[in-house]
Amino acid sequence: MSLPTPIYDLKQFDSVYEPSEDTFLFIDALEADLEYIHSLRPSCILEVGSGSGIVITSLARHFQTQCLFFATDINPVACLCTKQTAYLNNVVVHCTNMNLYCNFKSIFDIILFNPPYVCTEDSEIKPGINRSWAGGRDGRIIIDQFLSQLKLFLSDSGVCYMVALKENKPYEIMATMKVLGFNSCIIKERRILGEHLFVIRFIKEGNLK
């Protein structure tokens, strides 16, 4: 089973994060975990911070009409870009401009997030392309907001995948998530262009799958 890179075109979207090594590592990690994802028989999949939309579109192409696909981004231009990428690949992704998943009343079987993880001053987290990368102290400001609410939005048998950088202290993140009732493991890691990137998988404790 594979997840080929979807067609995308960022020409009209200059404030949108261009798919980079972290994006492709994330798709590689999901591809390597596809058998597990299938075993969950997901019906609702969400990507938070979808940017260009190629990550959620790669899953939408794979699962086609077996699931509903949702995406959010705090950058409204990224939402337009995600919708275009889905359209170019003949799939439907419902993308909404929002902060993380705050406005949803539903739960999801799979939640994906490649967050803004770069360590910066908190003041650098500001609208536009900055929101793609600026992560504030330890690169953890947005990551910690996202993880603190995960329990509310993930189904009991669901799974969350998140990208993190070594400087974000992935093992500390996993220990914190244990306290919040999640088991986690690193499913992929790669050193690229001076960055050491991880993809972490979180499942709720008691989920035997």
Position 188 contacts ligand SAM (CB under 6 A): no
Position 17 contacts ligand SAM (CB under 6 A): yes
Please name the residues in contact with 96: beta carbons below 8 A apart, sequence gap of 6 or more.
70, 71, 72, 79, 103
Query: From the list 79, 100, 147, 160, which residue makes contact with ligand SAM (rule: CB under 6 A)?
Result: 100
Instruction: Please state the closest distance from residue 116 (CB atom) to ligand SAM, in A.
Output: 5
| Among the listed residues 12, 2, 81, the one whose alpha carbon sits nearest the alpha carbon of residue 47 | 81
What's the token pair of residue 117?
């993880």
Question: Which string of x and - marks every residue 124-163 that binds ligand SAM (by CB under 6 A)?
Answer: -------xx---------x---------------------
Q: Is 205 exposed, middle or buried (0-12, 13-18, 19+ CB in 10 A)?
A: exposed
**CB atoms < 10 A from the CB of 56, how many?**
28
Position 49 contacts ligand SAM (CB under 6 A): yes
Task: By CB under 6 A, name the binding residues for ligand SAM.
Answer: 17, 19, 23, 26, 48-52, 55, 72-75, 78, 99-100, 114-116, 131-132, 142
